[in-house]
Structure 1
Amino acid sequence: MRALLLFHQLPRSPHLRPPASRGAATRALASFAARPLGGRARARPSPARAMASQQQFPPQQQGSQPGKEHAMDPRPEAIIQNYKSAEKLKGKVALVTGGDSGIGRAVCLCFALEGATVAFTYIKGQEDRDAEETLQALRDIRSRTGAREPMAVPADLGYEENCRRVVEEVAGAYGGRIDVLVNNSAEQYERPSITDVTEADLDRVFRTNIFSYFLVTKHAVRHMAEGASIINTSSVNAYKGNKTLLDYTATKGAIVAFTRALALQLAEKGIRVNGVVPGPVWTPLIPASFGKEKVGQFGSEVPMKRAGQPAEVAPSYVFLASEQDSSYMSGQFLHTLVVAVSSRSSAVI
């Protein structure tokens, strides 16, 4: 798997500036698959020990959003060691929003390993280095699968014109179609009280977390045919609540309702709409959102006593994107964490 993640000297995306240090970025990306869950240098623990062990991250804080994956310690794990692909998405075209890092990056790489041609979005000037790492890894995978050249498209998806432009650019590059859409962009901010949330705060978080889902999908469905799949990223907070992430939690609840309603609307067209509900996952959103002390204890409150890794969540997206695995599943959410709240779905199609 190490070899899988080495950079290739292929043509660069016109959207991206070169990273500050190609060598450093190469070494960091190549080390993803070798890193243990929640660890930095020791041998990989058995799954049972990993689930039972107490996990702590080094205290760290980035202080601004979007977060930077290349600045995290330890780096998130993007691919499960010895991932077994089965060409479940061979010939498919996938668009992943917020695919430069975190869960989005892991989904991009899993989709590529399954044979898909992958395009993803990122924020220009802020996520360039993470996007470049992901793009180069996709190119490396593509050289083995025969998929088409991947794309990294810069865009703030909180505004309709940007959403339309991204969809048209991606569809135009790949024969006018999009087979899988993953809406994944997100931002969050800790605010102790509802009185701390300004109208501008509310507008920003809702634009990123739910407006973008609605608007990207609005334009993407015009390029989607029977058998296509839409997958939306929600959060465990939509089900259990989070008193210091009030606006973020509200958007994640909106994503659940949006997904179930859209599944009903698109069922007659043969387009499935589902979602994934991650629990606490080690992504750039964490050090960018929380203080050092909270980051150091992140994930310790859940039954497994540790945060998840993006690599542990991404296969759920593969399942939902694959017609052979989930062809009779729509309006549903896969919960990737055991929590003490009801996750029973009320929408069965």
Structure 2
Amino acid sequence: MFIALQNRQPGMQHELKVQPETTRLPSAQGRGDVLTLKEYEGANKLLDKIVVVTGGDSGIGRSVCVFAAREGAAGVVVAYHPSEKKDAEETGRMVEAEGADCYLLEADLRKGESVCKDLIQRTVDRYGSIDVLINNASEQHTTQKVEDLDSSVLESTFAVNVFAMLYLAKHAVPHMKRGAAIVNSASVVAYAGGGSLLEYTSSKGAIVSLTRALSQQLAPRGIRVNAVAPGPIMTPLNPATRDQENLDNWYKRTPPLGRIGQDSSYMTGQVLHPNGGTVVNT
């Protein structure tokens, strides 16, 4: 198996036997079964912006941080769990190699509003404002039977996945100007379900709803709020959650594209709705 089981939260990217692709995307020059990769090229879409990314140390979060820098961001805040310092430092090196300032902030989001408030305040103390908030940090556990539901696991999952998003938005919005944006990380399981991921699935459904509500509240202030709902993506979160049999089955249960996702080339058959904020139930 190419994945190193970790059996603890959060997962560590530096412990994976095979590293996910962070900055390279499939190239149109590929032929047949040969997958050709090329480096993502920025276009100054975030020129001089300040971007905050929770869970920015690894997986999707790491790619977001590096791409933000490559898109011209002036400062990238990598918020990470205390146990993920090694991964965060590597992300920091990658961000700085792109020419952006990188601010590593340790933050255990399970500890509530005070941690979220402090994260935002330290960001503002350094940069003065926030242009983009990426709520990417997630916690995931498996519960095979509802009778085995652990209240502490349920509370911890919602503390990271849902409550922290609202607390961070609460304290970030006063420092965001018209044109700023918030992006929340949901999941395909919010729509398709995830039988063994009871707590995680419930939290991701809540994220979809809070995103819609917050987007309506902040629209008059010119702040956009959206969510992404990725399918199975190769990040440290999965080997940290599943046992070997479960992980093998997860890897085999691939969608129509026939692979675990790494990037935007993983999107097909979907409808995007850039419609000014009208909620459509998809």
Give TM class, smaller chain: 0.7 to 0.9
Q: How does 1:97-246 map to 2 (within 5 A)?
A: 97-116=54-73, 117-124=75-82, 126-142=83-99, 147=100, 149-158=101-110, 159-174=112-127, 176-246=128-198
Change (3 A) 1:294 1:313: farther
- In 1, Cα distance between equivalents of 2:264 and 2:156: 29
Q: Unmatched 5+ residue regions in structure 2?
A: 25-37
Q: TM-score, normalization: structure 2?
A: 0.88
What's the CA shift for 1:313? 7.6
- In 2, Cα distance between equivalents of 1:133 and 1:296: 28
Higher normalized contact order (CA 8 Å, seq sep 6+, divided by chain length): 1
- In 1, Cα distance between equivalents of 2:173 and 2:18: 38
Aligned 8 A contact 1:178 1:223 in 2: yes
Give the letter for the 1:76 counterpart.
P
Aligned 8 A contact 1:58 1:296 in 2: no
Q: Deviations over 1:267-301 (max 9, x none)?
A: 00000000111000000001100111332343432
Give the letter for the 1:114 counterpart.
E
What residue is the counterpart of 2:11 in the other structure? Answer: 67
Q: Unmatched 5+ residue regions in structure 1?
A: 1-56, 321-325, 333-344
What residue is the counterpart of 1:294 in the other structure? Answer: 246
- In 2, Cα distance between equivalents of 1:195 and 1:271: 42
Aligned residues: 261
Q: Deviations over 1:67-121 (max 9, x none)?
A: 0000112111111222121101001100000000010001001111001121011
Change (3 A) 1:313 1:180: farther
1:78 and 2:22 aligned: yes
What residue is the counterpart of 2:209 in the other structure? Answer: 257
Change (3 A) 1:329 1:288: farther
RMSD (Å), alpha carbons: 2.0
- In 2, Cα distance between equivalents of 1:270 and 1:219: 17
What residue is the counterpart of 2:34 in the other structure? Answer: none
- In 1, Cα distance between equivalents of 2:103 and 2:206: 29
Identity %, equivalent residues: 41
Q: TM-score, normalization: structure 1?
A: 0.71
SS in 1 for 2:281: coil
